[in-house]
Structure 1
Amino acid sequence: MYTGLMSIFFKEKPGNLNESFTSILNQTLLPNEMVLIKDGVFGDELDRVLKNFVFNCAKKNIPVKIIKHNISKGLGLSLNEGLRRCSYNYVARFDSDDINLTNRMQRTIKAFDIRDDVSVIGTNVEEFNPGNKSIKKKVPLRSNEILKFSRFRNPMNHMSVTFKKDDVEAVGGYEDVPYFEDYYLWLKMLKKSYQFLNLDDILVSVRVDDDFYHRRGGIQYVKKECKFQFKIYKEGYISIFRCILNIFFRGTPRLLPKTILAFIYKVVRSN
């Protein structure tokens, strides 16, 4: 039994949200409940997509809890608020613009049954831009590899992750760390020696359009990157040497033109 958790930004595209909702309802192992956060005031079209999803969930006997924000609070605070409303210990993160393969949750819950000691399970994902060739975003599989990888890059594809609510809450849950909410949570848990696992399967298709690179480029993103790297250095997650290297190798490309940044992303993610 598991809860599906999704925060929906008020500027989300209705068509993307509808595809994401459809992929959830097509799961071979359906959620036992859904917790949705409306992060900001929705337009009419986005609201219609949400109401249609609630209607379809009711036909499948899936209760839906909706949390409404009149003003956007951001992803970290929204997810933490939603987490408190989750009834089941297994919580699956669903992104509002990505497509879940039909067997994602059945494969994930089966993995938990086999490895009860694991707190967080993710998967490899496929990144796609309609009209272009998709690429596989691979992540390390075992917990010791995930720990090593976490010192310079996010070791989990957040949109593919399912975790144990009790363990996440034990480290304080999500925090307001713009662009790095999930990454910071994994670092907190890894430091406390919680076990992680990534399945060597592509179980989520991730939408990577022009907006994706726009959001991850520019001086404002670099400033947030620097702030995050210094934060995790001060808290003992990385050394000062690693902090400087991360800022250089992760920050510098974000100042490049969008087309070059997109090329770098594709090279890094496919290796």
Structure 2
Amino acid sequence: MDYKFSVLMSVYKNDNSEYFSIALDSIINQTLVPNEIVIVIDGEIPETTEKVIEEKKKIYSNFNVVRLPKNQGQSIALNEGLKNCTYNLVARMDADDISEFERFEKQINVFKEDNKVVVTSGYTLDVSSNGDDYGIREVPLSFEEVKKYFKRRSPVNHGACMYKRDFILKVGGYKDFKQTQDYILWGDILKNGGLIKNIPEVLLKVRVDDNYSRKRTLLYIKEELKTQKYFYSISMLGKKDLIINFFCRVLVRLVPSKLLFIIYKKFLRG
């Protein structure tokens, strides 16, 4: 098997250019440097963000920049990016996160140890813009734990994952969901027999400052319901799971944002 790999990112107008620069630095300064970085520019972006890409090209030359004429959303942007990835192994990275120094080396080793693995991720550390730690988001490790965990929550940290492009395309790539497209993808992979194996180490720092209020919106609640119905339709959840998840994943979004933040920190961590 060829262990060359791409890193797939999408960036749009609201992404912070300074954070984007730091994210790229964390990619090109790894112990194992990617063979290419595919950046999907999802619509028009500020000149400051364009300048970040041009500056990084002076340090790292293997950028593949894909431009969408207007903003399409992350699902469409990532699907377009997957089509333009040269290598079968693809690492995901968001435009404002920070990969740990040995992340890619550790993930490639997972595929070397077990060629049946389709997806690997690891723990992530939530941080604020001023560097405060909000806690570690752990994920299940054994495949049996992954399948059990999936029934309640996403078993993979999306921004910290690496996967096989051919398998992702085989199950239809990212579905057209705004917030839960990654969770849907893990369900499709498990439904089609894909093996998920996680690493018990922090691989990524994730900025989470504005996530909690966004998850309270009516749009998110509607999508959460749509997500649970989708899993039920493909027999990944039973009726009992559907009812439990309605209370655990949907009703919690109706609580005040400050209380939701406390719940998230104290009870929704690993």
Question: What interval of TM-score do these two structures reach, taking the shorter chain for normalisation?
Answer: over 0.9
Displacement of 1:241: 2.2
**d(CA) in 1 for partners of 2:134 and 2:247?**
28
Asked if 1:243 corresponds to 2:237, the answer is no
Deviation string 1:79-136 (CA, Å, 9 cap, x unpaired) is 1111011111110001111100110001110121111111111101111123533311
| 1:176 aligned residue | 176
Q: CA deviation at 1:196?
A: 0.8
Q: Which residue of 1 aligns with 2:89?
A: 90
Amino acid at match of 1:165: R
User: Structure 1, residues 46-83: CA drift from partner, whole Å, max 9, x if none?
Assistant: 2211222233212xxxx211111221111111111110
TM-score, length basis structure 2: 0.94
Look up the SS of the partner of 2:7 in the other structure: strand
Counterparts in 2 of 1:192-203, with a 5 A limit? Answer: 192-203=192-203
CA distance in 1: counterparts of 2:221 and 2:180, whole angstroms:
12
Give CA deviations for 1:215-247 in whole Å, capped at 9, x if unaligned. Answer: 212222111111211122122221122112212
Q: Give structure 2 stretches of 5+ with no counterpart.
A: none
- Tell me the amino acid that sits aligned with residue 33 of structure 2: L
> What CA distance in whole angstroms lies between the structure 2 residues aligned with 1:49 and 1:109?
27
Is the 1:138–1:269 contact (alpha carbons within 8 Å) kept by the matching residues of 2?
no
Residue deviations 1:11-33, cap 9 Å, x none?
Answer: 10111111111101111100101
1:76 partnered with 2:79: no
Deviation, 1:206, is 0.8
| Identity %, equivalent residues | 32
1:141 to partner: Cα distance: 0.4
- Cα deviation for residue 268 of structure 1 reads 2.7
Q: Per the alignment, in what secondary structure is the counterpart of residue 134 of structure 1?
A: strand
- CA distance in structure 1 between the aligned counterparts of 2:131 and 2:197, rounded to whole angstroms: 32
Q: Aligned with 2:133: secondary structure? A: coil
Q: Secondary structure at the match of 2:9?
A: strand
Aligned 8 A contact 1:136 1:269 in 2: no
Find out whether 1:146 has 2:136 as its counterpart.
Answer: no
Q: Is the 8 A contact 1:222 1:254 kept in 2?
A: yes
Q: Does 1:27 align with 2:26?
A: no
Matched, 1:36 2:39: yes
Q: Kindly indicate whether residue 60 of structure 2 is the aligned counterpart of residue 57 of structure 1.
A: yes
Equivalent AA in structure 2 for residue 34 of structure 1? I
State the aligned residue count: 266
2-structure distance, mates of 1:9, 1:217: 22
Whether the 8 Å contact between 2:134 and 2:265 is mirrored in structure 1 is no
1:263 has 2:262 as partner: yes
TM-score between the two structures when normalised by the length of structure 1: 0.94
2: CA distance between counterparts of 1:231 and 1:156? 18
How big is each residue's C-alpha offset from its partner over 1:127-184, in whole Å with a ceiling of 9 and x where there is no partner? 1123533311111001111111111110000011001111111211112122111111
Distance 1:255 1:166 in 2: 39
Tell me the distance in 2 between the aligned counterparts of 1:147 and 1:56.
41
Q: State the match for 2:49 in structure 1.
A: 46
Q: Which residue of 2 aligns with 1:185?
A: 185
4+ residue stretches of structure 1 with deviation over 4 A? Answer: none
Aligned to 1:7: 10
The residue aligned with 1:204 is 204
Q: Which region of structure 1 is more displaced relative to structure 2, 72-81 or 223-232?
A: 223-232
